[in-house]
Amino acid sequence: MAHIIKTCLGLVIPILFACSLVVARDIADGGNDQPGKCNQKPDQPQDNSNPIQPNITNSDQPDNPNPNQPQDNPNAIKPSIANLDQPDVPQADQPHDNPNPIQPNITTPDQPDNPNPDQPQVNPNITIPDQPDNPNPDKPQDNPNPIQPNISNPDQPDNPNPGQPQDNPNPVQPDIPNPDQPPDNPNPDQPNNPNPDQPQDNPNPDQPGDNQKPGIDQPTDPNAAVADGGSDYTAPPLETGFLGEWVIDNPNAGVAAMQLQLMPNDKLVWYDTTSLGPSGIKMQPEGNCPINPDAKNQPDCYAHAIAYDWRTSAVRTLTLQGDAWCSSGNLWPNGNLAATGGTATGDKAIRMIPNNDDPKADFETRLNVLADVRWYASNVVLPDGSAVVLGGRGSFSYEIVPPSLDFKPRRFDMPFLKETTTPDLGPGRPVENNLYPFQFLLPDGNIFLYANNRAICFEPQTGNVVREYPELAGGSRNYPPSGQSALLPLKLTADNKVINTEVVICGGNSPDAYKVVDARHVTEKQFMPALRDCHRIQPLNQDATWTDEEQMPSGRVMGDLLDLPNADLLMLNGAQSGTSGWEDATDANLTPLLYSPTKPMGNRFKPLNPTTIARMYHSCSALLPDTRILVAGSNMHQFYTFDTQFPTELRVEKFSPPYLDPALDPNRPIIDAKGSDLVLQYGKPFKIAATLQSNETMVLGEIMVTMVYPPFTTHGFSQNQRLLIPALTSIENNVINAVAPGGGTVAPPGYYMLFVNRLGVPGPSVWVHIE
């Protein structure tokens, strides 16, 4: 708004009228992704009705720096500039304002042909502003070896023999805490133990929480560890002062990552929408311009979905059908991705892309097959591989969708979703506060469901509510004041009991935060500070209650909360003020947080090195098989917009968490896939062969195996994310004997990244399959 007003003031009087129309449109648009917003408002000017607009220049925009390039779209913030050749076709079910999303005026006929057809052709009209150089010029930016962390330690001499493990010149000192990290409570506002009735160090009385606490005498009898699942460390995890490192992995992936899934074929599939107009990349091969029903059935040469090879950073465009805006998804047991719902043409769609290495693999789509509209819904995979697809705007229901494109959905009412909806403030003025609800499959087969400020547990095959939990006071935690939530790592015993089942919820914002910031409700935006509080609950306990977790060092909405291979978690992305929705947040939270849920209270959140790139609304991240984190996306705006404070973000980053400190490399287990069991059977023993880079022998008590289900991440929630810690029975000659999870309620069928850790230091994973 301020930007547009400023622009208006700089223009001559005859254009003021046009500006007023732009402002009116901005107000109408500026909310979150709403169906039929302007189209349903007869008092709003139609976008195509103002032929004056194309002449508006933006004084903030530099002249075309490259006269050889057509300057067709000088102002990406006004993409719905009139096209007199396009008739206005109001579509009541069309979600977005732009009546001409494919924007023929943005194509560039003078553009040279792609000289390298193997390389994707990026949108020439999109220049990525102020591409920062490698933020750390002392560090190499490219990583020629994706297995190895992209970190060089200037204090370390080069290894003269790369085939040999490098002697550790900087031996890790596990008993010496990081001098930068105060051992005392870093947050003086908060008592170390907010609940004196609760034991301070162990938030989970079923779990020996102190075993990982440095400085405590540890049992040395390996059998003691075996009795507890064999995965508890008998020595403190290794500490490091390394606070992580960011590198740019790709300067322009072409499509902003609104929804993102790592697939077992080592491709990340991400997409935004088909009604968003031009992206940053054209469909491959050149000239592939399929008809786009979400763009008035016009040919659309731009891609809205890609497959991204995390090893090579190569981009391949995919065909997205049925508008997937703010949709959900899940993997099938065979690793195929099902992308469910969205809006308009896609609100009941399912699209599947197979988990294979076919270079032409693409989405196969069925429109109108879901039982209800699934816009802002969330999915959770069940023990039989089908998925609960739950909620969405105005859909107070869920349905069970089998891993198939041809099915009859089973629909169930879910009144809880209506009960937790903050009421509309008027027609077209929703608040909601409960979209993208948090769902977790619990080890008893029921589903923990959190929406707004309440939680229940329900039986998925009947819809019966099994348990209601106390209200979580203090804010709203779901979209638009999107907080962060995760199921904490599930630790298994050799007889396959789950030692701990616990959910954490952090951040979010006030129930009023959206009402005071979104253009649907106000003209003067007020960005309320995001919440800093976190809470935990053990949902299987009778009379489960919320316990106060340590407060975060900074507030956060729209962050991701990802499992790390060593059973810590990482919180990243998001904003410190405002909510989800177009233009509704500011004060990007650039600092990732390491969250160590088993550490003593006061030591659980550790701020890491910040990025330089704001990732707020419509951003994503994912744990990679090499233990790094891929970070992509962010688009606060209705369209791809670059001349603004928080531009549409097409750069891809990778973040190396602290465990990738090169000084820890001697402890890094490297799995021998050929000597390992990669197909697991529920409850059966399996073997993992691995070697330490130090050539030391692995021993029980120092090794933890983890299995991470790759989540579908969107809007700050990683659907289906779970980390399992299987029991270890012995380690013989660097072969780990472990027990596979006992069944599908603990480990839904499918592919998992399996990591081996030595004292908190993970090595690259192998994909294992369990069913």
637 or 654: whose CB is closer to Cu ion?
A: 637
- Using alpha carbons only, what angle is made at residue 27 by residues 47 and 436, rounded to the nearest 5 degrees? 105
* Phi, psi for residue 671 in degrees, rounded to 5: -80, 135
Residue 33 or 653: the one with the smaller Cβ distance to Cu ion is 33
The alpha carbons of the chain give a radius of gyration, in whole angstroms, of 26
CB-facing half-sphere around the CA of 411: CA atoms within 13 A: 14
Of the pair 33, 533, the CB lying nearest Cu ion is at: 33
User: Residue 634 CB, nearest distance to Cu ion (Å)?
Assistant: 12
Residue 676's CB: how many other CB atoms inside 10 A?
A: 18
101 or 230: CB nearest Cu ion: 101
77: its two tokens: 């913030």
Residues 768 and 755 sit within 8 Å (Cβ to Cβ): no
Q: How far is the CB of 2 from Cu ion (least distance, A)?
A: 23
Residue 42 CB partners (closer than 8 Å, separation 6+) = none
Q: Is 435 in the site for Cu ion (CB under 5 A)?
A: no
CB of 33 to Cu ion, least distance (A): 5
Binding region for Cu ion (CB under 5 A) out of 163-171, 211-219, 319-327, 623-631: 319-327
Question: Where does this chain touch Cu ion (CB under 5 A) — which range of 326-334, 457-465, 667-675, 755-763?
Answer: 326-334
CB of 320 to Cu ion, least distance (A): 15
491-530 footprint of Cu ion as x/- string (CB under 5 A): ----------------------------------------
Smallest distance, Cu ion to C-beta of residue 259, A:
9
Nearer to Cu ion, 34 or 551 (CB): 34
Q: Which of 303, 324, 326, 698 touches Cu ion (CB under 5 A)?
A: 326
Judged by beta carbon, residue 303 or residue 326, the one nearer Cu ion is: 326
Q: Which residue is nearest to Cu ion (CB)?
A: 326
User: Is the Cβ–Cβ distance between 494 and 729 less than 8 Å?
Assistant: yes
Min separation Cβ 256 and Cu ion, Å? 11
Nearest CB to Cu ion, comparing residues 95 and 669: 95
**Interaxial angle between packed helices 2-9 and 13-29, expressed in degrees from 0 to 180 and rounded to the nearest 10:** 170
Q: Smallest gap, in angstroms, from Cβ of residue 405 to Cu ion?
A: 25
Q: Which stretch binds Cu ion (CB under 5 A): 123-131, 320-328, 687-695, 737-745?
A: 320-328
Q: At its nearest, how many Å lie between Cu ion and the CB of residue 314? A: 27
The residue (of 33 and 323) whose beta carbon lies closer to Cu ion is 33
In angstroms, give the least distance from the CB of 327 to Cu ion: 9
Cα distances (Å, whole numbers) of residue 584 to 340, 521, 527, 568: 26, 11, 7, 31
User: d(Cα 544, Cα 444) in Å, to the nearest integer?
Assistant: 15
Distance of CA 751 to the CA centre of its chain: 18
Nearer to Cu ion, 228 or 272 (CB): 272
Q: Please state the closest distance from residue 364 (CB atom) to Cu ion, in A.
A: 24
Q: By C-beta, is 460 or 508 nearer to Cu ion?
A: 508
Please tell me the total number of residues recorded for the chain in this structure: 771
Of 33 and 266, CB closest to Cu ion:
33
Shortest Cβ 324–Cu ion spacing (Å): 10
Closer CB to Cu ion, residue 394 or residue 553?
394
Output 265 or 379, the one with its CB closest to Cu ion: 379
Counting residues that bind Cu ion (by CB under 5 A) gives: 2
Which of these segments, 199-207, 325-333, 547-555, 735-743, binds Cu ion (CB under 5 A)? 325-333
Q: Copy the structure tokens of residue 337.
A: 């991705």
DSSP 526-565: --PBPP--EEEE-TTSTT---EEEPPPSS--BS-EEEE-T
Nearest Cα to 320, choosing from 295, 355, 287?
A: 295
68/66 Cα distance (integer angstroms): 5
Nearest 5°: phi and psi at 457?
Answer: -125, 130
What is the x/- site pattern for Cu ion, positions 90-129, by CB under 5 A?
----------------------------------------
Write down the least CB distance from residue 108 to Cu ion, Å.
29
Any idea what DSSP says for residue 509? B
Cβ-based nearer residue to Cu ion, 409 or 716 = 716
396, 337 contact by CB (below 8 A): no
Task: Specify whether the CB–CB gap between 672 and 691 falls below 8 A.
Answer: yes
How far, in Å, CA of 296 to CA of 276, rounded? 12
Name the residue nearer to Cu ion (CB basis): 165 or 392. Answer: 392
Query: Residue 13: which H helix or E strand, with range?
Result: helix 13-29
Tokens of 596: 């160590």
Least distance (Å) from Cu ion to the CB of residue 580? Answer: 7
Binding mask 28-47 for Cu ion (x = CB under 5 A): -----x--------------
Distances (CA, A) of 607 to 190, 241, 553, 629, 762: 17, 12, 8, 16, 20
Q: 735 by DSSP, 3-state: which?
A: strand
Retrieve residue 197's tokens: 């009735």
- Scanning 131-139, 322-330, 390-398, 552-560 for contacts with Cu ion by CB under 5 A, the matching segment is 322-330
From 122, 103, 77, select the one nearest 647 (Cα to Cα).
Answer: 77
Q: How far is the CB of 480 from Cu ion (least distance, A)?
A: 9
DSSP class of residue 488?
P
Select from 70-78, 141-149, 321-329, 527-535 the region that touches Cu ion (CB under 5 A): 321-329
Place of tokens 């027609």: 427
- Contact, 45 vs 18, CB < 8 A? no
- Closest distance to Cu ion from the beta carbon of 525 (Å): 18
Two tokens, residue 549:
């977790």
Cβ–Cβ < 8 Å for 343, 323: yes
- Residues of this chain that interact with Cu ion (CB under 5 A) are 33, 326
